[in-house]
Amino acid sequence: MPADRSEASAPRPFWSGTISFGLVAVPVDLYPANRRRRVSLRLLAPDGTPLARRYYSQKGEEVSWEEVSRGYEVDEERFVTVGDEELEALAPEKTRDIDLSRFVDAAAIDPVYFQRGYFLTPSGDSTKAYRLLAAVMEKTGRAGIATFVMRGKEYLVAIFAEGGILRGATLRFADEIRGAEDVGLPEPGKVAKKEVDRMAKAIRAAAAPGLDEDELVDEDSRRLLEVVERKREAGEDVVEAPAGAEEGEDEDGEGADVIDLMEVIKRNLGGGAGGGGAGAPRKSKPARRAPRRAASSRRQGGEDLEGLSKSELYERAQRADVPGRSGMSKGELIRALRARRKSA
């Protein structure tokens, strides 16, 4: 069932830029450090055609993308609408710099602020500055705090070094974090020493030297895949989409590209820089859906839009003046661009 490596798309970053502070400039490529791997179920029509998302008003009337607008609710059932041009005017200036403003003790950053993880791989012909920055940050136990713009939005990011590799985590803003008082936790009370000793004994009995990654298994997905494989082999409940049907979305949205990060890092660092270190990312498997997407692209004809990143699709939608583009998912951008191409 998995696709051959030759069928998978070539690894490529979804953002490229430069870490800059003072007179130092370090060219880097950005790759996601985590990906959604839960098994996704597609929504299908009775004939097996994947379903596409549609929008309806509360009156039950279907609304096309050309009619969709966005608004902020200022009072109950009262909105102030904001157009694409206004949102684009508010967007931060496009830049390819990760503006590293200061360094802090890495252990001082509360994990509750971490939002999403990334790997920053070296870019360009020279890796000297990358290696030096990673080595010094790791030796001193410091994390860099920076801002950068991605997909028209400014992010705050913490950059760490581990195993000779730089990784980053976008940070939540202070007003997004809840405290104990926000969720109504009671004040801690006194506990009898006997109960403390009993609890401490139970914890020691279950103690382990570290987190075993073999325990981090998605059992729900494993069981679901076993059911799917058994039914596929038995030819039970297998349906095929009619030829020419457009590809729909997963039940929970678009899937992330699968990238062999270890291959990228080894190539860019010349096979060194902590390839087997504690911070090195694990090898990723080829995308399972690659063959189907390629087939879908051949049916549609023209450019393989699925191979583009969401930011690339958004830029094309901007050039094509697609209404409602700022709030579209990757799948919606693809369908809107295809609709524009057909109507042209």
How much is the pTM? 0.60
CA distance 152 to 199: 50
Phi/psi region, residue 226 (left: phi>0; alpha: psi -120 to 50; beta: rest), is: alpha
> What does 304-341 look like in DSSP terms, one character per residue?
-GGGS-HHHHHHHHHHTT-TTGGG--HHHHHHHHHHHH
Q: Do residues 84 and 325 touch, judged by C-beta distance below 8 A? A: yes
Tens digit of each residue's pLDDT (9 = 90 or more) over 46-58: 888 888 888 898 8
For the chain, give every domain's residue range. Answer: 5-51+82-179+216-286+302-311
In the predicted model, what is the mean pLDDT of residues 60-66?
Answer: 86
Q: What is the pLDDT of residue 69?
A: 86
Instruction: Return the higher-pLDDT residue of 74 and 343.
Output: 74
CA distance 146 to 139: 20
Q: What is the pLDDT of residue 269?
A: 64
Q: Do residues 8 and 287 touch, judged by C-beta distance below 8 A? A: yes
Which fold is adopted by the domain 5-51+82-179+216-286+302-311? Ku70; Chain: A; Domain 2 (2.40.290)
In the predicted model, what is the mean pLDDT of residues 178-194?
Answer: 81
Instruction: Return the higher-pLDDT residue of 316 and 294.
Output: 316
Mean pLDDT taken over the chain:
77
Residue 251 pLDDT exceeds 70: no
